[in-house]
A and B are shown apart, each in its own frame.
Chain A
Amino acid sequence: MTPPVEELAALYVLDQLEPADRQAFAGRVAREPGLAALVRSLEITLEQRIHALPQHPPPAALLSRIESRLDAPTERSRPPPPAATAFPIRPTFTRWVLPAAAAVVLGAATFFFLDRQRPPSPSVVLIVGLDPQRNTVTKIPLQNPARDTDARFVQLASLAERFWTRPDDLPRVPTAPAGSRAYALFDPTTHQGFIAVQQLPNQPADKRYHLWLVDSETGRAIDAGSLPSATARGLYFFSLDPAGAPASGPVNFLITAEDIASPPPTRPRGEPILGRNPI
């Protein structure tokens, strides 16, 4: 066996191959007995490593809980819960509460229907240059513009990892300044993304970096979470609450330095570090 095949086999067993590579390698495993033997031997090693972990029995009632859900529709196919029974209805309010509740249900159902009908975005937003003064934005296509969250996440993560390991693959945008301190990927369909920071300045111990998405149409800043303190360089995942995420249109990114001692901020209060000005 040549080292590249061994490396591929190790990556396959550790589930570290990208989906297309994994599928291609699985096909080889099924066709080539020698390769299958190598993979089996590594799988057995992996399994033994797992059995050598401290073994914790799951709670005794878990199996019955799982079995009670086996025949239930999956999360994605389950209809939204009925809103009309979410609060008690007093007789004196019935005359206006019932129509109001009906309107809410109808509105929610319409929103849900329209949201399902809206085609998933075929592309993700890539902030190529995230600098103290501005963002430089472009869009890049997804190979598989599916609606499925997991499928889109895998593609997003593959892109983020690719740009992290091969920064030269980042799209060239004429207006992007050289030596940007960060870049970011954001999928407006699933409201999740990655941010890669390269050279953030050191902060005092009582500050931490906080990431925001700014809806460029409304100017509203949306909390995307804190970055680990003392972050100088790293690749981080974030996801937004779908209810608060920008519906569509351009987005901007902002990183501020917030006080660690203060409660989690609901809007940017600290000094903007990156993305100070609009695009």
Chain B
Amino acid sequence: MEPVTLQTTVNNLVDNTLYESLPYFRPELALCGTIVLMLLVRVFKGGELIPPFFIALLGSITALIVAFPAEGFESWMDMQREEIFTGMLVYDSLTAFIRIFLLSFAVLFVILSQLTGIADARDGQDYYALVLGATLGMCIMASANHMMMLFMGVEMASVPSYVLAGIVKGRQRSSEAALKYVIYGAGTAGVMLYGISLLCGVLGAAHLPTMATNLAALDIPQLLTNAEGRLTVMVLVLGGLMLGVGLAFKLSAVPFHFWCPDVFEGASAEVDAFLSVASKAAALVLLLRVGAGFGLTTAEDSIAAVVDHSAVIAAASDESTTPLQHAVLTAQTSVSGDSTPVGGGPLSPVRRFFVVVVSIMAIVTCTFGNLAAYGQTNIKRMLAYSTIAHAGFMMMAIAAAIALAGRDVVEARTAVSALLLYIALYLFMNLSAFAIVAFLRNEMHSEEIADYGGLIRTSPLAAVMMTAVLVSLIGLPPLAGFWPKLRVLQSLYSAGGPLMTFVLVAAAFNTAIALVYYLRVAKVMCIDPEPDTRGAVSLGFLPAAFVFVVSVPVLIFGILPGSLANLTDLAVSQLFS
């Protein structure tokens, strides 16, 4: 055997980075290159003549193209989970899917920013550099496999967002929004880092799968029997909750939602679209990664994989059950009378804790968002509360996925697939809603719902598309928003147990109460008389085309959700294994 010297270690590391990790990292590298190019091009003579929009568009399209799998989406079917950069990031089909999602959003968002004129010639470079930088951070968030990358990703996504919230200079409201965002954001990031330090210290690792293995080795039920062990568990719970504070802030989950309505009202509508779609999607995937990372070890997965429906039936009927299957069966039957069945195994207490915390937070977030949206007169503020409510709904899918992951991998994958479908359709719904708000703001300099009165007569396309998007946000059947909600409810049903049933009832109840405030806006636009103060409103050709292109998928996927649903199913086909 070759002796291990520093030279061989360094050589191995360099080879691993250059030939194994970096090829998976090409889209992010393209984003990095674009940012550097955009900032440097001004230095050279004639560089300021190149519009930053073109560089940003070209860069994001390049990143999107390299993000597509070379062998087609079917290659996701048997794509193994791969750890890159010595375990810092994880590359699997979920990473690939969410990266394509984030980069498609970046392309559409760059076009939207150009059309609304928020990024003018003077600070276009800064604006696009911030947008692409935040997108890069979100890609890292979605593929984090190490506590450092988790924190780095959250910060890389947050810090540019703080600036974006205040990008419109000289407006009091805009600067107030940025200040509130940066203070809440930095505060929760600090608390999250402290929680991470506690978790890492107790578990003696920062690599997520190693942490899970060490957590399983701690044997939590045994720890709870003595006083010192209870202290250890207390520190773990405290660390977990502090980590949750940072994630809840990114998700704008109650009780860390204060910033969301204020920032959305103060920032421009384009930036709101960015925060509500891309930032939320990355945070949701990160929450899923944290839940699956702490709640499942590779050893436990093999047990869970054995316990498909058929395997349980076969094992029950068969006399010669292996000890392993027998243990699993007894574990399953012993927890079947439980309020939150999460399966057996050494990490089941962690999963139960995660599921209970996330589902209670999800119920409160969803209900609060929907109730608070009622009295709003500003459309951006109303959509902010709508975003909070939708984030709550999507968190329910994560709770269901983690609850199912220990028992039934196939159903857990279905729950994650529902989440991804929700995220993907939410892009079209929220991007077109905020695009319409932004274009109308340019035309009539108002974002009050009352000023939208009678819009159907002066600007029929905007009014019709906005109505379609709002109905889709409610989740009514002929439109796209219905399918993800239905699939989340199905997953909650299959998760079973009183808590999940309660979540299911709360979710259904919330869909009903959301009806009124969305339809109120639709009524104002389509039935109410036009306000006297408003002049003629007409979108230009390009804005109208953009709105049309972004909102037509809401109609198409409402009738034919199959292709997108197949894609999300493919993206989760190797998850939890």
Query: Do these two chains really belong together in a complex?
Result: no
Q: Which residues of A contact B (CB under 8 A)?
A: none
Which B residues have a C-beta under 8 Å from some C-beta of A?
none
